């Protein structure tokens, strides 16, 4: 890794044009000035509510969308549109995406064996039948599906939601990627199953030394999974830093609101009255200046004038607020 | 538990007729809800919590039925009430807020029309009176009166759910049943809606049954908590105490299944395995196959929901016998 980052985004912007006659020239501002880095073997959580741009960010990194400007650097190499299939394959060997929906992301007509061996064959990662078999068994054991032989024969509909998500994760890991982009991997699972999948992902990360970009709306889950957190709001990063500095020492008014609103049984409702007002703004015509200013209790005149910069307040803790 | 019962459910069995037989989604559920109390019902998907809500409201689908048991609402058994009489109870005495606010509102009627429709359907009032009532209700849920003319697509998800709550409360029912009312909403919006329900409950004095899979939320907001597993209540008690000191191994596992925002980050267990198929539930205790403390007898003898005293009920023979330290 040459001491560099596994992944680095610098001021990445992604706007989606609206379709239709009336909408010409208007855009959904899904990502603006998104910048962060992810070290090798590190885990960063991207936390935000729906419409904050977190999934777009993962999709841009996975090259499902091309970004408009800024740069995405993976392994020291700036990425652009793929010029050949070989290039695309090389990239996907490094970066894998795990989707949220364990029901919709596995082909129902394929067995687990077919689902898992496909990426290994495409990337030519196994020489001969025995090695393929060994790889399949290894990855299934590692995601907690054993005996592996039993699961390889089955179809997705024969598995529970938690087991299906384990297959999804196994598929992501099958090509031995360097970076895993996990888009809300546990949000559709039942509470009692969720913890097992999260623990399994933590173990896999240890064992395989991958980097995680973990996308979630759950602040407590992000804290459990990652050493750093970036909180997004309306297409921008509002605060980023080491997990507990961002959660315990939250500076940005939005992050403090999010924290107060998150369920936390240790405290109880009476203590955490937040009197939350408003909702995330439309990204078609986002508010001028700081995107949180219409809801911010501390907003002053200047807040609507210019977008505040993401400033370092020490120790790698960055905040996008003039009050910080 | 509080003085006077608003709702008493006794041995309720309800479920669905399928090709493979009758699925007892709710299998012998009993509980008691006091006036003005907030009962949370928590459980995973398929545990029967929504079926329970629909059974109480007598809104089960055609292939579903109440098999046995009683639903005493202010002393009257709803389980055997004639459909016409039930129509008179719904909305006026008991109302329900559904999970999908997005699809529960009629897209071609304005908010005002939908609110006043509800009033006209159950009360003989003049139009202006109904509109006044609608405005008052919208004000209660912090929505401006000029929104009466808005259509659902002009409202955000949170506002739609507020409208649903206003609509449910417009006839001042004594009981409000909410089935995952905030699941599709973002945390901040969820929080504001829950604070609103709590305020309204204190102001209007209705009882609430709040159903969700999100236990961390329920622990915070409800007075009492019932934990359901595979069609049955496995533990019942004051939510704070249930969180601090769970007696049933399933409750304990659940409480050990969500990370926290403060304190040290420690590895949490969760629960191995998955919920049983209700067509052929395991014999004895239904949680036994997943239970870390199961003994040989557990898969033979069906445990009863025993009263452990102090408002706590637990369907585990181990409950109360061994108070366990370090639950979280």
Q: Give the DSSP letter string of B21-44.
A: EEEEEEEEEEEEEETT-EEEEE--
Query: What CA dihedral angle connects B165, B168, B169 and B173, to 10 degrees?
Result: -140
Q: Which residues of A136-163 are buried (b: 16+ CB within 10 A; e: fewer)?
A: bbebbebbbbeebeebbeeebeebebbb
- Contact criterion met (CB < 8 Å) for B263 and A274: no
- How many alpha carbons lie under 13 Å from residue A93 in its C-beta half-sphere? 12
- ipTM of the complex, rounded to two decimals: 0.83
Distance CA A121, CA A108 (A): 20
Q: Which of A220, A235, A29 is closest to B220 using CA atoms?
A: A220
**Token pair in block for residue B176:** 């409000």
CA distances B117 to A129, B96, B99, B237, Å, are 68, 16, 21, 39
For tokens 């905040």, the residue is A319
pLDDT reported for residue B326 = 40
Nearest-by-Cβ selection for B219 from A160, A258, A265? A265
- Contact criterion met (CB < 8 Å) for B216 and A264: yes
Q: Kind of pairing, strands A228-233 and A43-47?
A: parallel
Q: Kind of pairing, strands B5-18 and B175-179?
A: unpaired
Q: What residues of chain A score a pLDDT lower than 70? A: 1-3, 267-277
Question: Nearest residue on chain B to A161, judged by CA atoms?
Answer: B274
Taking the CA of residue A39 and the nearest CA in chain B, the distance in Å comes to 21
pLDDT reported for residue B158 = 85
Pick the residue of B270, B276, B287, B289 with the most A CBs within 10 A to test the interface with A by mutation: B270
Cis check for the bond before A60: say yes or no (omega within 30 of 0): no
Query: Which are the contacts of B267, defined by CB distance < 8 A and separation ≥ 6?
Result: A199
Query: Which are the contacts of A187, defined by CB distance < 8 A and separation ≥ 6?
Result: A100, A216, A217, A218
Distance CA B323, CA A259 (A): 33
Nearest-by-Cβ selection for B214 from A192, A263, A266? A263
How many CB pairs below 8 Å do chains A and B form together? Answer: 129
Taking the CA of residue A270 and the nearest CA in chain B, the distance in Å comes to 9
- Contact criterion met (CB < 8 Å) for A217 and B192: no
For tokens 């008690």, the residue is B237
Nearest-by-Cβ selection for B44 from A50, A191, A217? A191
The side-by-side arrangement of strands in the sheet containing A179-183 is: A95-98, A179-183, A211-216, A43-47, A228-233, A236-242, A318-319, A311-312
Nearest-by-Cβ selection for B188 from A162, A220, A261? A261
Q: Which helix (H) or strand (E) holds B74?
A: none
Residue B171 pLDDT greater than 90, yes or no = yes
Residues of A in contact with B221 (CB under 8 A): 269
pLDDT reported for residue B327 = 42
- Contact criterion met (CB < 8 Å) for A224 and B158: no
Distance CA A303, CA A308 (A): 8
Q: Tell me the whole-structure pTM to 2 decimals.
A: 0.88
Residue B322 pLDDT greater than 70, yes or no = no
Taking the CA of residue A191 and the nearest CA in chain B, the distance in Å comes to 6
Strand partners, B12: B29
Strand partners, B236: B226, B313
Lowest-pLDDT range of A305-309, B134-138, B185-189: B185-189
Q: Give the model's confidence band at B247: pLDDT under 50 very low, under 70 low, under 90 confident, else very high.
A: very high
For tokens 């290039």, the residue is A87
* Mean pLDDT in residue range B113-129: 94
Residue B302 pLDDT greater than 50, yes or no = yes
pLDDT reported for residue B325 = 44
Segment B196-225, tens digit of pLDDT: 899 999 999 999 999 998 888 888 889 999
B contact set with A (CB within 8 A):
44-45, 156-158, 186-192, 194-195, 198, 213-217, 219-221, 240, 243, 253-254, 256-263, 265, 267-272, 274-275
Residues of A in contact with B195 (CB under 8 A): 269, 273-276
Taking the CA of residue A129 and the nearest CA in chain B, the distance in Å comes to 32
Average pLDDT, chain B: 90
Distance CA B53, CA B191 (A): 22
For tokens 């998955």, the residue is B274
pLDDT reported for residue A56 = 95
Taking the CA of residue B19 and the nearest CA in chain A, the distance in Å comes to 19
Pick the residue of A190, A250, A284, A297 with the most B CBs within 10 A to test the interface with B by mutation: A190
Residues of A in contact with B267 (CB under 8 A): 199
- Contact criterion met (CB < 8 Å) for A268 and B44: no
Nearest-by-Cβ selection for A217 from B186, B215, B240? B186
């Amino acid at each position: 890794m040459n001491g560099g980052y596994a992944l680095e985004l610098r001021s990445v912007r992604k706007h989606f044009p609206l379709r239709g006659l009336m909408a010409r020239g208007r855009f959904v501002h899904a990502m603006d000035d998104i910048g962060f880095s992810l070290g090798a073997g590190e885990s960063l959580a991207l936390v935000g509510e729906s419409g904050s741009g977190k999934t777009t960010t993962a999709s841009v990194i996975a090259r499902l969308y091309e970004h408009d400007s800024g740069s995405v650097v993976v392994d020291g190499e700036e990425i652009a549109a793929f010029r050949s299939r070989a290039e695309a394959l090389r990239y996907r060997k490094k970066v894998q995406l795990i989707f949220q929906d364990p029901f919709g992301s596995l082909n129902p007509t394929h067995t687990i064996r077919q689902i898992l061996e496909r990426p290994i064959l495409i990337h030519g990662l196994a020489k001969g039948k025995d090695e393929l078999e060994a790889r399949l068994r290894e990855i299934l054991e590692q995601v907690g599906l054993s005996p592996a032989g039993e699961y390889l024969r089955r179809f997705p509909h024969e598995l529970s939601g938690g087991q299906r998500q384990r297959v999804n994760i196994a598929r992501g890991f099958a090509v031995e990627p360097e970076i895993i982009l996990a888009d809300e991997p546990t949000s559709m699972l039942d509470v009692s199953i969720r913890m097992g999948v999260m623990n399994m992902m933590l173990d896999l990360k240890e064992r395989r030394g991958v980097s995680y970009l973990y996308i979630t709306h759950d602040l407590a889950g992000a804290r459990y999974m990652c050493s750093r957190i970036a909180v997004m709001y309306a297409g921008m990063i509002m605060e980023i830093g080491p997990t507990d500095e961002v959660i315990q020492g939250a500076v940005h008014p939005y992050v403090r609101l999010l924290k107060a609103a998150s369920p936390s049984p240790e405290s109880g409702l009476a203590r955490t009255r937040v009197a939350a007002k408003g909702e995330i703004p439309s990204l078609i015509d986002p508010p001028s200046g700081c995107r949180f200013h219409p809801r911010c209790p501390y907003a002053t005149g200047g807040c609507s004038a210019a977008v505040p910069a993401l400033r370092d307040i020490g120790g790698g803790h960055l905040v996008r607020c003039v009050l910080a | 538990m509080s003085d006077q019962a608003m709702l008493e459910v006794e041995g309720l069995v309800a479920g669905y007729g399928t090709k493979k037989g009758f699925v007892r989604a709710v299998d012998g559920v009993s509980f008691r809800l006091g006036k003005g109390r907030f009962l949370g019902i928590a459980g995973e998907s398929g545990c029967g919590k929504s079926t329970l809500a629909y059974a109480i409201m007598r809104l089960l689908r055609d292939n579903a039925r109440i098999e046995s048991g009683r639903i005493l609402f202010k002393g009257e058994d709803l389980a055997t009430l004639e459909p016409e009489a039930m129509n008179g109870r719904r909305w006026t005495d008991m109302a329900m807020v559904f999970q999908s606010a997005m699809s529960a509102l009629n897209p071609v009627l304005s908010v005002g029309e939908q609110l006043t429709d509800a009033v006209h359907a159950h009360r003989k009032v003049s139009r202006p009176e109904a509109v006044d009532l609608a405005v008052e209700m919208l004000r209660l849920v912090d929505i401006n009166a000029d929104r009466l003319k808005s259509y659902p697509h002009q409202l955000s998800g949170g506002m739609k759910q507020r409208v649903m709550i206003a609509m449910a409360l417009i006839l001042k029912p004594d009981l409000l049943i909410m089935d995952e009312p905030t699941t599709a909403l973002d945390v901040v919006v969820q929080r504001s809606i829950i604070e609103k329900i709590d305020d309204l409950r204190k102001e209007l004095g209705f009882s609430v049954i709040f159903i969700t899979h999100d236990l961390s939320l329920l622990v915070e907001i409800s007075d009492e908590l019932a934990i359901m597993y595979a069609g049955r209540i496995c533990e019942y008690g004051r939510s704070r105490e249930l969180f601090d000191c769970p007696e049933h191994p399933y409750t304990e596992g659940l409480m050990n299944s969500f990370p926290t925002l403060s304190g040290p980050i420690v590895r949490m267990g969760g629960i191995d395995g998955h919920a049983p198929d209700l067509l052929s539930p395991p014999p004895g205790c239904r949680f036994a196959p997943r239970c870390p403390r199961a003994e040989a007898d557990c898969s033979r003898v069906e445990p009863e929901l025993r009263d452990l005293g102090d408002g706590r009920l637990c369907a585990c023979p181990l409950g109360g016998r061994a108070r366990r330290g370090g639950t979280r």
